[in-house]
Structure 1
Amino acid sequence: MEIKLPTYLKCIAILMGLLLLIYFMQLFKAVLVPLAFAMLFALLLLPLSQNLERLKLPRALAIMFSLIVVISILGLVIWFLSAQIMSLTSELDKIGQNIDELVIKVQDFLYQKFSIPPSSRTDLIRDSFGNLREIASSLLQGTISTTTGALAMLTIIPIFIFCFLYYRDHLQQFMFKFVSKDRRSGMMQTVSNIQTVVQSYLSGLMIVIVIVSLLNSMGLLILGVKYAIFFGVFASILTIIPYIGILIGAMLPALFTLAATGNLVDALLVVGVFSFVQFLEGNFITPFIVGSKVSINPFAAIIALLLGGEIWGAAGMILSIPLIAMLKVLFDAYEPLEPFGYLLADIDDLKSQKSGRFNKMFDKLRNRAKKQGQEIQE
């Protein structure tokens, strides 16, 4: 018998379920985060693996070849960034001297304009910027710690990807066990929609990263910024973190330029370059490449970004958009949850869908009127 509960008990049960889910996600973060990344990459590599299998290549070899391609590309990017960071650290002493001169200029300006007496340069530099060696040491320790954790994840994620791709037929049969035969076609359509959304987002994101890195690097090279290619590529990679990544990517080269040249105008020009590229990326590049397949409104994206960062840290911020896009597909496919899918949808996309439906209905009415007119003439 179906037990009917009051509305307030249902709300309490839903809230308790959400709290338990968040606690579960935080408790098993070490396993769930690599699984989530592996699932996304498996969906991205699935077409390549299937094409290789159609060429009579065994599934295991096809998956291994796909993984080697991805790992090689990521290895080249990591090698380039590491080499640039090592070269950048060699200029810390020069940057420290420039910061010292910049502080003197600021103190003289404040004293001349506002009669604020200058404080001890040594104390001010230590209080405002900290000791450069300590900053470099802490940065190095944090980098080593992060790299160690990333290497641990990088060793387990390819294994998960291989298992997802190799046992995909088995996983499909596993999902069939939960639904009746008459609903399996609908379930496979939903899975296909999820795969399309994820592939569209990830492949489009990679193309956007390449284009944005070229634009950033060109702008910085025109301004004569040192390590322009490094800052351009690094800022474009940070775009995988929506809204926040581009801010961090613009601040680093701006602060470096300010510390290296001591000229505020140069730093503002760097910010202007990144702002212009961000305008192009948000209004033209991403909408044209990714399209409307990942149609999440900005408010829902920001909430997902904050929740992902709170639950899983930086990894959660990266995973937030593709995961919420997958949830929207599930919400749209399951009738009781359609209101939540509507809540997550982009308003412009809903307007285009409504206009498309109106045009289809108008075409049907017009064709019907033409047929009736032809029958009357006959």
Structure 2
Amino acid sequence: MKAESAAPGAGTHISEDARGEARADMQLMRSLLIGIFIFMAIYALDFAKAFFMPVILAFLLALTLTPIVRFLRKRGIPEALSATLLVVLSLFIVVSAGYLLSGPVIDLINNTSTIGQQLTERLAQLRRPFEKIMEISHQLEGLTETTQEPGIQRVAMAQSGILSSAASNVLSAGTSFTIIFVLSLFLLASGTMFYEKIIQSFTSLSEKKRALRVVFDVEREISHYLLTVTIINAGLGTVIGLGLWALGMPNPLVWGAAAALLNFLPYVGALMTLVLVAVIALISFDTISYALLAPAFVLLCDIIEGQFVTPMVVGRRLEINAVAIFIAIAFWSWLWGFVGALMAVPLLVVIKVFCDHFDGLTHVGNFLAAQQTAVVEDEPVEEAHKAG
């Protein structure tokens, strides 16, 4: 009888253990499926980057121009008209900038060897520890040239291959630009169509209101951020270009445009601009002391923009921690090159805003944020002071 009475408890214990093992197996299976999905998504982004890259750029451009379209709509201008004017204006700015910058940029690329030689001569006092290494390198090059057999000829790349590759790149770039501007035009001109589709996807009125509020808040915050940062970067590039022009720096328009474009890469872009300006200034001016004025001016502008202007205009809530920024820039530059690196931080802000508006993803938004971590760490300290 005792054995029979103990049987139900043992069965309950076994069933609880079985449920726990089943939950653990389900959790493991879910983690494996998530990992497989992530790897497949990365492979898809790499394999179909010719499609995804212009589409994502079109969405970012549309989000950047959405506040202007909304402002003009309140003034009685239809979305189709304002969207067409803004997209045409954006295309005109991009084409004009490309045309004006193409000549100086091509000259800089063609003169890279000369620039390197001039920089080496200018910094000759720093070259002495490396002279032995350079001598060994030159001796190895001479040995390679002398040991080459007389019957062997060096192979030169056919010009037709270079021309066909260049034509293919130009055609691909033209197709991408067409997709970007045409798709952004349709997105901007669609007006409230997406909001209506979202409302139609839910049945109850409370769910419709909540979904509409979340989507509208996300779209408004991202649009405001992208437009504000674009205006700040354009202003930074203008100030740097004018300042370098006043200092007598060659091609100030190129360095102003580079500063505006590279500033979409926090930390990394400012450092790249500073190094490029310093190199050109050292080979362009007679004295090193005067040459250092140009990078010092760029550094001053970057400090003012990064520490005062952007936090004051954009606000602290959308700041991303430095670790997440560097990881995102490294990942997207590995995946899509320089264009991917420029898109890394805007995409990171989009992800953070989405995560902040959904309860199940708040921990991801908290990880990406730069401010909330410090607040969380200070709470125990404040509680300890109150208890004391």
TM-score higher than 0.5: yes
Q: Give the total of aligned pairs.
A: 338
User: Does 1:291 find its partner at 2:311?
Assistant: no
Match of 1:38 in 2: 58
- Deviations 1:22-77, CA, capped at 9 Å, x for gaps: 12222221121111111122122223334444555554333212212222232332
How far is the alpha carbon of 1:142 from its aligned partner? 9.7
Match of 2:91 in 1: 71
Match of 1:324 in 2: 348
Match of 2:182 in 1: 159
Question: Taking structure 1 as reference, are residues 63 and 108 closer, same or farther at Cα in structure 2, changes over 3 Å only?
Answer: closer
Question: Taking structure 1 as reference, are residues 161 and 286 closer, same or farther at Cα in structure 2, changes over 3 Å only?
Answer: same
How far is the alpha carbon of 1:98 from its aligned partner? 8.8
Q: Which one of the candidate residues 34, 48, 60 is aligned to 2:68?
A: 48
Match of 1:248 in 2: 272
User: Does 1:175 find its partner at 2:198?
Assistant: yes
Q: CA separation in 1, counterparts of 2:183 and 2:239?
A: 35
Q: Report the AA paired with residue 106 of structure 1.
A: A
Question: Taking structure 1 as reference, are residues 22 and 58 closer, same or farther at Cα in structure 2, changes over 3 Å only?
Answer: same
Q: Report the AA paired with residue 170 of structure 1.
A: M
8 Å Cα contact 1:190/1:329 also seen in 2: no
Q: CA separation in 2, counterparts of 1:140 and 1:123?
A: 35
Q: CA separation in 1, counterparts of 2:345 and 2:30?
A: 28
User: Does 1:195 find its partner at 2:213?
Assistant: no
How far is the alpha carbon of 1:268 from its aligned partner? 4.2
Q: Which one of the candidate residues 262, 266, 275 is aligned to 1:238?
A: 262
Q: CA separation in 1, counterparts of 2:179 and 2:262?
A: 23
Match of 1:61 in 2: 81
How far is the alpha carbon of 1:226 from its aligned partner? 1.7
8 Å Cα contact 1:209/1:237 also seen in 2: yes
Question: Taking structure 1 as reference, are residues 286 and 142 closer, same or farther at Cα in structure 2, changes over 3 Å only?
Answer: farther
Match of 2:326 in 1: 302
8 Å Cα contact 2:259/2:273 also seen in 1: yes
**Which entry has the higher C-alpha Rg, 1 or 2?**
2
Q: Secondary structure at the match of 2:263?
A: helix
* Runs (5+) with no aligned partner, structure 1: 127-133, 359-378
Question: Taking structure 1 as reference, are residues 115 and 247 closer, same or farther at Cα in structure 2, changes over 3 Å only?
Answer: closer
Q: Report the AA paired with residue 98 of structure 2.
A: I
- Deviations 1:297-355, CA, capped at 9 Å, x for gaps: 22222222222222222222222222222222222222222211211122268749x99
Q: CA separation in 2, counterparts of 1:117 and 1:191?
A: 60
Matches within 5 A, 1:141-160: 148-160=171-183
Match of 1:21 in 2: 41
Q: Report the AA paired with residue 97 of structure 2.
A: V
8 Å Cα contact 1:213/1:233 also seen in 2: yes
8 Å Cα contact 1:246/1:278 also seen in 2: yes
Q: Report the AA paired with residue 326 of structure 1.
A: V
Q: Report the AA paired with residue 35 of structure 1.
A: V
Match of 1:84 in 2: 104
Q: CA separation in 1, counterparts of 2:284 and 2:192?
A: 57
Match of 2:124 in 1: 106
Q: Report the AA paired with residue 92 of structure 2.
A: S
Identity over the aligned pairs, expressed in percent?
Answer: 22
8 Å Cα contact 1:104/1:121 also seen in 2: no
Q: Report the AA paired with residue 330 of structure 1.
A: F
How far is the alpha carbon of 1:167 from its aligned partner? 3.3
Q: Secondary structure at the match of 1:252?
A: helix
- Name which of structure 1's ranges 96-105 and 35-44 shifts more when overlaid on structure 2: 96-105
Match of 2:294 in 1: 270
Q: CA separation in 2, counterparts of 1:284 and 1:39?
A: 29
| Structure-1-length-normalised TM-score | 0.73
8 Å Cα contact 1:108/1:118 also seen in 2: no
Q: CA separation in 1, counterparts of 2:372 and 2:61?
A: 29
